[in-house]
């Protein structure tokens, strides 16, 4: 099985800091309608995906769409940093409620590479935020202990190459 192939109806949670390549990875691998993005919903609410004041509204929109998709057994990709354990616990609870499998894709990308990719983005995240995110990155073992069925571990091995490897139960 290809590491980016998942059983139908799976909740796939992307986990990694800003500039790690999560959105690009998702866009290249899955249909656009599978991807729920906090950045997109913040932008829709305020005109700026960087406007953190809209995070509560964005999370509400994401929750509505997540429940609608999981209730129908549709594979769903959560495109956010998912670095905060309470957010991951919330997503896992939604998957359990709808009796759907939940898997994580962990983006373990070096800070220097994230800084370089971040600098090339239209919306640059401040460096202190990148450093804080580095401290929050969970291990694959931690994600498995939280309840994810398996974890795809994505690492940067070249200038623009992200390669997944599967770990799990």
**47 located within any domain:** yes
CATH number of the CATH domain containing 126: 3.40.50.300
- The sign of the CA dihedral 88, 89, 92, 93 is negative
State the pLDDT confidence band at 167, using cuts at 50, 70 and 90: low
pLDDT score of 49 = 81
pLDDT score of 29 = 93
pLDDT score of 98 = 98
Residues 107 and 152: beta-carbon distance below 8 Å: no
List the structure tokens of 71.
């209730």
Closest C-alpha among 4, 9, 19 to residue 113: 19
Q: Note the pTM of the prediction, 2 decimals.
A: 0.89
Q: How many domains does the chain have?
A: 1
pLDDT tens string 53-96: 889 999 999 999 999 999 999 999 999 999 999 999 999 999 99
* Cα–Cα dist 89/148, whole Å: 10
Given a cut of 50, is residue 11 above it in pLDDT? yes
**6 located within any domain:** no
**2 located within any domain:** no
pLDDT tens string 119-139: 888 888 999 999 999 999 999
pLDDT score of 3 = 45
**150 located within any domain:** yes
- What is the extent of the structural domain holding 87? 11-168
């Amino acid at each position: 099985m290809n590491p980016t192939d998942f059983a139908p109806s799976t909740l796939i949670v992307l986990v990694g800091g800003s500039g790690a390549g999560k959105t690009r990875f998702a866009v290249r691998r899955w249909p656009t309608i599978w991807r729920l993005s906090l950045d997109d919903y913040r932008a829709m609410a305020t005109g700026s995906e960087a406007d953190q004041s809209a995070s509560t509204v964005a999370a509400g929109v994401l929750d509505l769409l997540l429940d609608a998709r999981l209730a129908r057994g549709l594979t769903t990709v959560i495109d956010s940093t998912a670095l905060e354990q309470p957010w991951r616990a919330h997503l896992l609870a939604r998957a359990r409620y709808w009796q759907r499998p939940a898997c994580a894709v962990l983006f373990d990308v070096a800070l220097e590479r994230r800084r370089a990719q971040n600098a090339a983005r239209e919306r640059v995240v401040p460096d202190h935020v990148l450093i804080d995110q580095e401290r929050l990155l969970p291990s694959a073992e931690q994600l498995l202990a939280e309840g994810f069925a398996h974890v795809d571990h994505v690492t940067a091995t070249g200038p623009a190459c992200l390669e997944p490897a599967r770990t799990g139960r």
